[in-house]
Amino acid sequence: MSSPYNLLKFVFIICIILNFMLNGIAKANDAIFCLNELVDVSGLIVDLKYDGKSIKILEFGNIISSKLSGHETLYEKGVTGESIIWERFYRYLSNLSPNVWCVGKNLDPNRAVYINFQKLIRLGGYYCSAVDLLKQDQFFNELSDTISNDLCVDLQNCNGIIINTGHRLLKGICKDLNLMFPGFIFLNHAAFNYGESKDCACNLFDSCELRQFRPKWKIYDARYSQNLIEKINNDFESDLLVIKPLNASRGQGVIILSKRDLSKTLKMIFTKKRRMKKFKNDSFNFWAKYREKKFLIEEFRESKYITVDGKQYDGTMRVVFVLSYHKKNIDLSFLGEYWKLPVKHISQKGTLNEKHKSKVDCKRRPLSVAKVSKEDAEHVKSLLSDVLPILYKKMLMQTYE
């Protein structure tokens, strides 16, 4: 027979387990309640490989920090004289509210954020240098006099949309912002991290139903060793791999290589920082300043080859879209798409990077971008329509949990 002490011990353990379970249920209920009340709008891009049958999503990006110059090169301007893709984006936002505010200070005139803010302002948006200065802006206050103070934002009748460049504001104080600006929507609050961090973006696909939509990947410690090489070789069957940093954009630090070059390449980028600085190619010299503790390895995937000026290219398709969430409903609106092309076509002599890594340069001849056929565009958008709402729901859950 068990002693009274053992019985008490057993009861105590059961109580602890029940407590954890009840806390988990409470947190889940809070998350469900939060999603029921939530309103969100996110403007994003996605780069993907398309083989004619399926898609492999490579990464996300925030629309505000993307120039989209490739689309502007291929298509005529809209009725306002601005790029048609920005006309569509502004029309989407202004249909929710005519009060679209672009907020950011010390912006570099050569960077995408500044250029895109100028476009939105010309289309009818307003500007302020900082979120905390909005309350001091006379015009903002004049508009606010006619605005509801209801904290429960209605997507179809919101008080305004604030597009903010401040990373800190988008990473953790949404509740404070909602109290400061009742009825306003902060663009990309849910999606921001997934456009900035490949680590966060990869984790979205970590489920049985979603892994099929991304090339196989794994994250490793950014420290060279023979054990690291053996582990990568065992983890991936593909002979061609892609090395990626976790926090870069515009293809910086991306190296496509065969397994036979894996050891010498990783040894160089992790142990020979001074040598890396001498490279003119940003696929390599980026690693001289890399300070993250992790990096990404991804299996190499190709798109179906597209023909441009009689030459075949392995392109990467960029798709631009807006997602919104309100009253448990997700809306997905596509704004445009185009192919980004590598520097060299498939038949040319060159490195794997030169023939497979896309690089947009609108001054390059032949062009570094190409239109997507109507058939391919419709098929890709159909495939994305199945997966993007699922990914977006995960972004919302992870952001507001």
Report yes or no on 281 lying in a domain.
Answer: yes
Report yes or no on 263 lying in a domain.
Answer: yes
Least confident of 70-74, 172-176, 350-354: 172-176
Report yes or no on 289 lying in a domain.
Answer: yes
pLDDT tens digits for range 283-308: 888 888 888 899 999 999 999 999 99
Q: What percent of the chain has pLDDT over 70?
A: 83
Report yes or no on 349 lying in a domain.
Answer: no
Report yes or no on 287 lying in a domain.
Answer: yes
CATH of the domain at 228: 3.30.1490.20
- Which pLDDT band, with edges at 50, 70 and 90, does 16 fall under? low
Q: State which of 144-153, 244-253, 290-299 shows the largest mean pLDDT.
A: 290-299
Report yes or no on 194 lying in a domain.
Answer: no
Question: How many domains does the chain contain in total?
Answer: 1
CA atoms within 13 A on the CB side of 220: 22
Tell me the CA end-to-end span of the chain in Å, nearest whole number.
46
Report yes or no on 256 lying in a domain.
Answer: yes
pLDDT tens digits for range 106-139: 788 888 889 999 999 999 999 988 887 887 887 7
Tokens describing residue 109: 């005139």
Mean pLDDT of the chain: 84
DSSP H or E segment with residue 61: strand 55-62
Report yes or no on 110 lying in a domain.
Answer: no
What type of residue sits at position 124?
A: G
Pairwise CA distance, residues 155 & 95, whole Å? 10
Domain that holds residue 286: 216-299
